[in-house]
């Protein structure tokens, strides 16, 4: 039987498919590759065993931000009195909140749908893929029927990750939530205990606390431990003001079902925590099992599939992108990886990744954003550095809106080149964006110091921080003496 060429809508026959590029995984990263490849004229196959859109749409970024939006509205009344507005605390209709969350997902889903991608010319196969050789795989369909074989000139593995479940004694004997089940809750927990003080854990801690649940976060080390401590402190202070209890430096040693709920026993003699619900948010694991990577000549480890800077695996026919490739685990990284792969696989341009300039945001209130090298990494790499700061409390827009908690922090080398920048404060994810461009383009601080920005805006905190770079010289005794001499001239 001759191979079926993939072009246009889904091929209904059961024969083998031969294509230019086969993408395994229809999350953000995989969808970006598939759409770009199809629009460039490549014969493209996309295999997905679950829901189109992957974690980001269904159980990650989209539902979590929708929930945070509801929580922000529920909390707004507490800040209104400072602006002269008083009203009663809102009534939280939790089932309606979750309908809002799922309504947002449903509104975005058509953009990632099978129908849309087939209309682009992508042959979408809804089943589980496993490699049977270095240049081929087989797809077993969820609906049954004969498996399909796919051969391709290039493969892209974009299977993402899933919540990591730590081997805590007793955890498998109690009901617990992960991000994959959290958004299916029908009732608001009376007391949500969260294992993990990273971005996901803290975002959900603030959301559920503001919606009315008691919340305790258990973190074995330091909450937001991967972020700049100075900026992280702003976020943690806000969480505590909201009433979130942070139990840091105490690991969960065992979990048990008790008369009052789920008991989490902690290390170091700390008092146990008992809650009605338990959320596990301690990290993620790559989805590599059952892919047949050994038959494809692809190497993987605990962090994911091993790739070079061009995102190629040990089998040069196969790329791995997004969470499964073991790098920074953000949706925008998946899109970035997709561009690297398209340039390598279709245009034969040896594009390489640069994760040092990758930005990220934690969507608590206030937000925390960073791009580029941390203060510690910058000292190690550049030696002499300058740290520039400017507080939100000295920004007129922040004062007008009573959003004065936070600051911007900029790291430069001795010559003023911007190495990193972070913001903790209102709209930090927006305020950091010009600094992303600056870091990625190797700009110097003078470009910001000389910029004219609209007044009053939050973005002015960055310009003021940039201006601080020149203050020691500008207002030095030598400069004052020079000005004095010039003033004597006719």
Query: Domain holding 439: CATH number?
Result: 3.30.390.30
Residue 4, pLDDT > 50, answer no
Mean pLDDT value across residues 5-28:
75
What does the pLDDT average to over 206-221?
98
- What per-residue confidence (pLDDT) applies to 8? 41
- Verify that 177 and 263 share a domain, yes or no: yes
User: Looking at residue 485, what is its pLDDT?
Assistant: 87
**What distance in Å separates the CA atoms of residue 424 and residue 405, rounded to the nearest whole number?**
8
| Residue 413 confidence (pLDDT) above 60 | yes
Query: How much is the average pLDDT of 343-362?
Result: 97
> Residue 14 — very low, low, confident or very high, per pLDDT cuts 50/70/90?
low
Average pLDDT of span 241-253: 97
| pLDDT value, residue 245 | 98
Residue 134 lies in a domain: yes
| Domain assignment of residue 187, yes or no | yes
41 and 144: one domain?
Answer: yes
**Residues 408, 421: Cα–Cα separation, whole Å:** 7
Q: Say which CATH number the domain at 184 has.
A: 3.50.50.60
Q: Is 26 inside a domain boundary? A: yes
Whether 343 and 374 share a structural domain: no
Tell me the two tokens of residue 96: 């309606």
Query: Are 388 and 407 contained in the same domain?
Result: yes
- State the residue range of the domain holding 315: 4-52+113-162+285-356
Among 10-14, 202-206, 277-281, 445-449, the least confident range? 10-14
pTM of the model: 0.94
Whether 136 and 33 map to the same domain: the answer is yes
Q: Residue 482 pLDDT more than 90?
A: no
Per the rule left: phi > 0, alpha: psi between -120 and 50, beta: everything else, 103 is: alpha
Better-predicted residue by pLDDT, 416 or 474? 416
* Among candidate residues 282, 310, 342, the one where a domain is terminated: 282
Asked if residue 274 has a cis previous peptide bond (ω within 30° of 0), the answer is: no
Contact residues for 480 (Cβ-Cβ < 8 A; gap 6+): none
Residue 7's pLDDT band, with cuts at 50, 70 and 90, is very low
Q: Mean pLDDT over residues 468-485, rounded?
A: 84
- Residue 64, CA distances (Å) to 159, 245, 322, 405 in order: 21, 20, 19, 23
Quick one: 207 and 248 in the same domain?
Answer: yes
Q: Are residues 340 and 382 in the same domain?
A: no
Does residue 6 register a pLDDT over 60? no
SS3 for the chain is: CCCEECCCCCCCCCCCEEEEEEEECCCHHHHHHHHHHHHCCCCEEEEECCCCCHHHHHCCHHHHHHHHHHHHHHHHHHHHHHHCCCCCCCCCCHHHHHHHHHHHHHHHHHHHCHHHHHHHCCEEEEEEEEEEECCEEEEEECCCCCCEEEEEEEEEECCCEEECCCCCCCHHHCCCECHHHHCCCCCCCCEEEEECCCHHHHHHHHHHHHCCCEEEEEECCCCCCCCCHHHHHHHHHHHHHHCCEEEECCCEEEEEEECCEEEEEECCCCCCEEECEEEECCCEEECCCCCCHHHHCCCEECCEECCCCCCECCCCCEEECHHHHCCCCCHHHHHHHHHHHHHHHCCCCCCCCCHHHCCEEECCCCEEEEEECCHHHHHHHHCCEEEEEEEHHHCHHHHHCCCCCCEEEEEEECCCEEEEEEEEECCHHHHCHHHHHHHHHCCECHHHHCCCCCCCCCCHHHHHHHHHCCHHHHCCHHHHHHHHHHHCCC
Q: Does residue 295 register a pLDDT over 70? A: yes
Indicate the residue among 282, 317, 337 that finishes a domain. 282
Residue 299 inside a domain? The answer is yes
Q: Which residue has the higher pLDDT, 483 or 240?
A: 240
One domain for residues 439 and 422: yes
Q: How confident is the model at residue 486 (pLDDT cuts 50, 70, 90)?
A: confident
Q: Is 409 contained in some domain?
A: yes
pLDDT band at 5 (very low <50, low <70, confident <90, very high): very low
Q: Report yes or no on 487 lying in a domain.
A: no
Evaluate if residue 13 carries a pLDDT over 70.
no
Assess whether 200 and 336 both reside in one domain: no
pLDDT tens track for 68-124: 999 999 999 999 999 999 999 999 999 999 999 999 999 999 999 999 999 999 999
* Contact present, 305 and 24 (Cβ < 8 Å): no
| Confidence bin at 39 (pLDDT 50/70/90) | very high
Average pLDDT, the chain: 95
Confidence of residue 484 (pLDDT cuts 50, 70, 90): confident
User: Once rounded to an integer, what is the mean pLDDT over residues 403-420?
Assistant: 97
So what's the pLDDT on residue 490? 85
Clarify whether residues 132 and 196 are in a common domain.
Answer: no
Q: Does any domain span residue 74?
A: no
pLDDT at residue 455 is higher than 90: yes
> What average pLDDT does range 255-263 have in this prediction?
96
15 pLDDT band, cuts 50/70/90, is confident
> Smallest Cα–Cα separation from 27: which of 43, 42, 48, 9?
48
- The label of the residue with tokens 């685990």 reads 329
| Count of domains forming the chain | 3
Is 60 exceeded by the pLDDT of residue 1? no
The b-or-e profile of 200-212 (16+ CB within 10 A means b, else e) is bbbbbbbbbbbbb
DSSP lists the bridge partners of residue 409 as 389, 422
Q: How confident is the model at residue 3 (pLDDT cuts 50, 70, 90)?
A: very low
Does 31 reside within a domain? yes
Q: Averaged over 400-419, what is the pLDDT?
A: 97
Query: In the predicted model, what is the mean pLDDT of residues 53-81?
Result: 97
410 lies in the same domain as 461: yes
Same domain for 390 and 450, yes or no, is yes
Name the domain boundary from 226, 255, 282: 282
């Amino acid at each position: 039987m001759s191979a079926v060429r993939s072009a246009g809508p889904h091929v209904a026959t059961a024969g083998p498919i031969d294509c230019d590029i086969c993408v395994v995984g229809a999350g953000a990263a995989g969808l970006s590759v598939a759409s770009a490849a199809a629009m460039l004229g490549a014969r493209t196959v996309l295999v997905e065993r679950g829901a189109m859109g992957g974690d980001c749409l269904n159980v990650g970024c989209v539902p979590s931000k929708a929930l945070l939006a509801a929580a922000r509205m529920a909390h707004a009344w507490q800040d209104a009195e400072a602006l002269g507005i008083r009203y009663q605390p809102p009534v939280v209709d939790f089932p309606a909140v979750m309908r809002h969350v799922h309504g947002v997902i449903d509104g975005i889903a058509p953009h990632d749908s099978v129908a849309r991608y087939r209309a682009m010319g992508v042959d979408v196969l809804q089943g589980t893929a496993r490699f049977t050789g270095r240049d081929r795989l087989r797809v077993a369909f969820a609906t049954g029927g004969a498996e399909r074989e796919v051969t391709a000139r290039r493969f892209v593995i974009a299977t993402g990750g899933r919540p990591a479940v730590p081997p805590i004694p007793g955890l498998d004997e109690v009901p617990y939530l992960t991000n994959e089940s959290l958004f299916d809750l029908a009732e608001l927990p009376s007391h949500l205990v969260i294992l993990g003080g990273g971005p996901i854990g803290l975002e959900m801690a603030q959301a559920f606390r503001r919606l009315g649940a008691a919340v305790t976060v258990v973190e074995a080390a330091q909450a937001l431990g991967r972020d700049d401590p100075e900026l992280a402190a702003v976020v943690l202070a806000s969480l505590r003001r909201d009433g979130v209890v942070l139990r840091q430096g105490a690991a969960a040693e065992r979990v048990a079902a008790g008369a009052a709920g789920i008991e989490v026993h902690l290390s170091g003699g700390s008092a146990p925590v008992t809650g009605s619900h338990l959320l596990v948010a301690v990290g993620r694991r790559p989805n590599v099992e059952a892919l047949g990577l050994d038959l494809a000549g692809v190497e993987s480890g605990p962090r994911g599939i091993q790739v070079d800077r061009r995102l190629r695996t040990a089998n040069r026919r196969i790329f791995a992108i997004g969470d499964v490739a073991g790098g920074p685990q953000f949706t925008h990284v998946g899109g970035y990886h997709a561009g690297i792969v398209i340039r390598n696989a279709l245009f034969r341009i040896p594009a390489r990744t640069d994760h040092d300039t990758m930005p990220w945001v934690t969507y608590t209130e206030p937000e925390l954003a960073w791009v580029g090298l941390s203060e510690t990494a910058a000292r190690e790499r550049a030696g002499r550095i300058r740290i520039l700061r400017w507080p939100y409390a000295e920004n007129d827009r922040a004062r007008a809106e009573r959003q004065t908690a936070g600051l911007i922090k900029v790291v430069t080398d001795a010559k003023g080149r911007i190495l990193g920048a972070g913001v903790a404060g209102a709209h930090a994810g927006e305020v950091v964006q010009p600094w992303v461009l600056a870091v990625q383009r190797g700009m110097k601080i003078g470009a910001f110091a000389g910029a004219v920005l609209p007044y009053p805006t939050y973005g002015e905190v960055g310009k003021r921080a940039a201006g601080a770079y020149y203050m020691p010289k500008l207002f030095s005794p030598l400069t004052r003496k020079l000005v004095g001499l010039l003033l004597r001239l006719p």
